[in-house]
Structure 1
Amino acid sequence: MDIARLKVLGAGVFSLVLVLGVARFAYTPLLPLMQAQAGLGVAEAGWLAAINYAGYLSGALIASLISDLVLKDRLYRIGMLLAIASTAVMGLSTNLMVWALSRYVAGLSSAAGMLLGTGLIMNWLIRHQHRSELGIHFAGIGLGIAGCAAAVMLFSPALDWREQWWAFTALGCVLLYPALAWLPRPDRTGLTVLGQPMPDRPPSVLYLRIFMAAYFCAGFGYVISATFIVAIVNRLPGLDGQGNWVFLAIGMGAAPACINWDLIARRMGDLNALILAAVLQIVGILLPVMVGGLAAALLGALLFGGTFIGMVSLVLSMAGRYYPTRPAKMMGKMTLSYGAAQIIGPAVTGALAVSLGSYNAGLYFAAAVMTLGTLLLLWLKQVERRDATLAAATPTI
């Protein structure tokens, strides 16, 4: 395999482990520890997660407005540094406002890796005549989830919550070099290395609106489990202390998922693959609360981990193929929908947990929203066929 391609994809993997595994997802397995040792309340935990997604949404908005690849590259590199700074700050204080600022900045850094970094990598792949798939790149998310869950289980006997945040900071510093050094500076020309044009082929307005609505539902389905699954499982009968194993299972399911969904999409098409992933994700969300027991929780976690990141990978890959010269613009627009759901979801779930004394209602709500999203994807297939018919009937000049 091309060494240059491996290094570029490797930069993407390490950047996602840094901005999501360290800066974002370390918060989930550390949440019970922070509640026990640092006095973090249930509702406050939900608001911190919502603030993180507000930062991510802000970053998505910025990404959707920027066309200059050089500026995107500069902001991507700044985002990698912010990921480390925001992680270190979590261990410096027990002040809720300081934590909130850290989570907001961590959200900005997540957008830098997920959108700017992904867009730069997609542009590089298309420009250098490689297959425009991001499965290997997005494996960094699953590796980040599994890695931080394993790290918390390894650190917990010896380190308190504060020292674990600093240990994650040190890990982030190790990840920083490949994330920065292995990604080449971008080429502004709209041509491949062989001199061929890279035309943008945007979808219809109706297609984009339905797509964004479906992705909003996917964001809602994702965020509740991703944020609260450790706390949810720990509170289920007979599963106290098992939450980190379930979070580890999510990461194990997610690590190979994007490569698998690339292969599935090649055989059955992008939209059919998205619909299948959505259905399996609904099952994964409901298994822990409807069946009960550790086996059901682990199977649900594997299904959830194996589908949510597959949906993200498929959607962002589709966006990159529609706009090869400026992939982060549509990626940013799609993520605005996904990110809006991620602000609403944790806050609603935290409020439900306080009023009902359980996180379970949040999972049922997430499954219902995901069902709506699946129906929207089915509608999108009809719109895709309509657009293809109209395009075929339109004479070219």
Structure 2
Amino acid sequence: MPRSERVRPWLALLGLILGVCVTNGFARFAYGLLLPAMQADLGWSYAQAGWLNTANALGYIGGALLTMVLIRRAGPARLFAFGMVTTAVALTAPGQDPALGWQTLWRVLAGFFGAMSFATAGALAAQLFRDDPRRNALAIALLFGAGGGIGIVLAGAVLPLLLDRLGPAAWPMAWTLIGLVCFAFLPLGRWSAHVLRPARLARAPEPQPLPIRQMLPQIGGYAGFGLGYIVYLTFLSAWMTELGASAELIALVWVLLGLCLCLSPFLWRPVLARFATGLPLALILVGVATGSLLPVLWPGGLGLVVSAAVFGLCVFMAPGAVTSFLRQNLPPDSWGPGLSLFTVVFAVAQTLGPFGAGLIGDLAQNIGVSLAVAAAVLLCGAGSALLQRRLVTPD
């Protein structure tokens, strides 16, 4: 096989990874790093600051629902490319106007368009190395692990130190910088979508409905993931600020979190490749719950560092576990619709998580209680996923 033929799939995977970096690492989580500066500079209340995360999650629900409707007609490659371009625009715009209405609009659109790329990236990655289960499992794991990890490493390494040096008023510059990086990632991401479009399987004249009833344990587990994981990522910086952490420690924890995300595919690849049940998702959720609970049981700098490492080694493998489960149990023409369904479930749960955690934190006057409750929800999700069995009998 010519060297170019061997390199091409990995280069296409890199483009998909950069797409997830834009729609996941930047669109979903960079706001958590910018929120304290925006709140201080603009005089927002916690309700106003929290509303923007809710707005982003609501947009994500809309994008996931539309993707589920359009994916058979437009195809995952076209939706991925479109979502990546429009998300880049939505991440550049917030720095142009501080008005809350303007900020709300672009957070909604970042979630809406980001969902399109994120929901279709897995379907595209599932087509890589279709005759090699081990490489396919690695590709899927790298997509979600490295995709989110690269974004968090870049944002965590730059934004806290930038805002500490220039002050809270520099938040518009931070958004512009994020947008420029997103646009730099576009060419390779769009090329990957173009390359994978011919490989898209022909649409079945009468596609079979998804076996939703048989997948309920896995759906329940993924809902638990959406409810629980977002609490940690929403309140991590706030928790560290309450503990009096320096900008350097905040940057270190976020960079470590991102690096562990990038390493997580190599840890979980054998598990994803071997099991076609809900066991991989269950194990991952136990790890995410442990990482969420550690800051409460072990407060302080070292506890935060260990927590970030454990959490990072597990959290973004949940989408990989779902993608691998669908690939091993459903026919290829059902991968896209199946991923869209799970994305909708995840989006709805993710919307409820921060709001519920905020209420619990207000009532208890301790955000650590919210982290503990999130860990309990994640463990419930793990119990649900553990009940999931194979949907088809291996050939």
Alignment partner, residue 248 of structure 1: 255
Distance 2:258 2:320 in 1: 15
| AA in 2 matched with 1:301 | A
Q: Which amino acid aligns with 2:192?
A: W
Question: 2: CA distance between counterparts of 1:332 and 1:123?
Answer: 16
1:137 aligns with 2:143: yes
Hey, what does 1:181 align to over in structure 2?
A: 191
Aligned position for 2:321 = 314
Q: Which residue of 2 aligns with 1:51?
A: 55
Higher alpha-carbon deviation: 47-56 or 244-253: 244-253
**Secondary structure of the corresponding residue to residue 241 of structure 2:** helix
Aligned partner letter, 1:333:
L
Does the 8 Å contact 2:220/2:385 carry over to 1? no
Deviation at 1:172, TM superposition (A): 1.2
Asked if the contact 1:63/1:328 (under 8 Å) is kept, the reply is no
Normalised by the length of structure 1, the TM-score is 0.87
Paired residues, what number?
380
C-alpha displacement at 1:378, in angstroms?
A: 2.3
Q: Shift of the alpha carbon at 1:128?
A: 9.5
Whole-angstrom CA distance in 1 between matches of 2:279 and 2:385: 9
Residue 210 of structure 1 aligns with which residue? 217
Mapped to 2, the partners of 1:304 and 1:287 lie a distance apart of 9
Tell me, in whole angstroms, the C-alpha distance in 2 between the residues paired with 1:366 and 1:353: 11
Amino acid at match of 2:7: I
Partners of 1:307 and 1:69 in 2: how far apart?
Answer: 34
Q: What is the alpha-carbon distance in structure 2 between the residues aligned to residue 202 and residue 373 of structure 1? A: 25
Which residue pairs with 1:169 in the alignment? 179
Which range is displaced more, 333-342 or 121-130?
121-130
1:239 aligns with 2:245: yes
Aligned mates of 1:356, 1:204 — CA distance in 2: 41
- Among 100, 106, 117, the alignment partner of 2:104 is 100
Secondary structure (helix, strand or coil) at the match of 2:32 reads: helix
Deviation at 1:201, TM superposition (A): 9.1
CA contact (8 A) 1:19 1:83 kept: yes
- Percent of aligned pairs with the same residue? 24
Unaligned runs of 5+ in 2: none
5 Å-filtered alignment, 1:1-397, equals: 2-68=6-72, 70-126=74-130, 131-133=135-137, 134-138=140-144, 139-156=146-163, 157-158=165-166, 160-183=170-193, 184-187=195-198, 190=201, 204-236=211-243, 238-239=244-245, 241=247, 242-267=249-274, 271-321=278-328, 322-381=330-389, 384=390
Q: 1:323 to 1:55 in 2, by over 3 A?
A: farther
Give 1:109 shift.
Answer: 2.5
Spell out, residue by residue over 1:238-273, the C-alpha distance to the aligned partner (whole angstroms, 9 max, x if none).
Answer: 535443432222212111212321123335665332
Summarize the Cα distance change of 1:38–1:122 in structure 2 as closer, same or farther, 3 Å threshold: same
Supply the distance in 2 between the matched residues of 1:289 and 1:279 (Cα, whole angstroms): 16
Give the distance between the partners of 2:246 and 2:52, measured in 1 at CA.
23
Instruction: Mark the CA change 1:128 to 1:278 in structure 2 (over 3 Å): closer, same or farther.
Output: closer
**Alpha-carbon distance change, 189 to 23 in structure 1, aligned in 2, over 3 angstroms:** closer
Please give the alpha-carbon distance, in whole angstroms, between the structure 1 residues aligned to 2:186 and 2:215: 35
CA–CA separation in structure 2 for the residues paired with 1:330 and 1:291: 39
Give 1:233 shift.
1.9
Equivalent position amino acid for 1:212 in 2: I
TM-score, length basis structure 2: 0.87
Amino acid at match of 2:31: Y
Q: In structure 2, give the amino acid aligned to 1:170.
A: L
Greater shift in the superposed pair: 242-251 or 67-76: 67-76
Structure 2 distance, partners of 1:88, 1:123, is: 31
> Which range moves more in the overlay, 34-43 or 296-305?
34-43
CA distance in 1, matches of 2:239, 2:192: 39
Q: What's the offset of the Cα at 1:207?
A: 2.5
Question: Structure 1 pair 201/70, CA: closer, same or farther in 2 (3 Å)?
Answer: closer
Distance in 1 (CA, whole Å) between partners of 2:94 and 2:120 is: 25
Letter in 2 for 1:137: L
CA distance in 1, matches of 2:150, 2:335: 24
Gaps of 5+ in 1: 192-196
Report the CA distance between 1:67 and its aligned residue.
4.1
Contact 1:124–1:186 (CA under 8 A) maintained in structure 2: no
Distance change (3 Å), C-alpha of 1:268 and 1:186:
closer
For the aligned residue pairs, the C-alpha RMSD in angstroms reads: 2.8
Distance 1:374 1:23, change over 3 A: closer
CA–CA distance in 2 between the matches of 1:189 and 1:287?
Answer: 43
Matched AA of 1:271? G
What one-letter code is carried by the residue in structure 1 that aligns with 2:72? D
- After TM superposition, give the deviation of residue 36 of structure 1 in Å: 1.7
- Aligned counterparts of 1:96 and 1:353: Cα–Cα separation in 2: 24
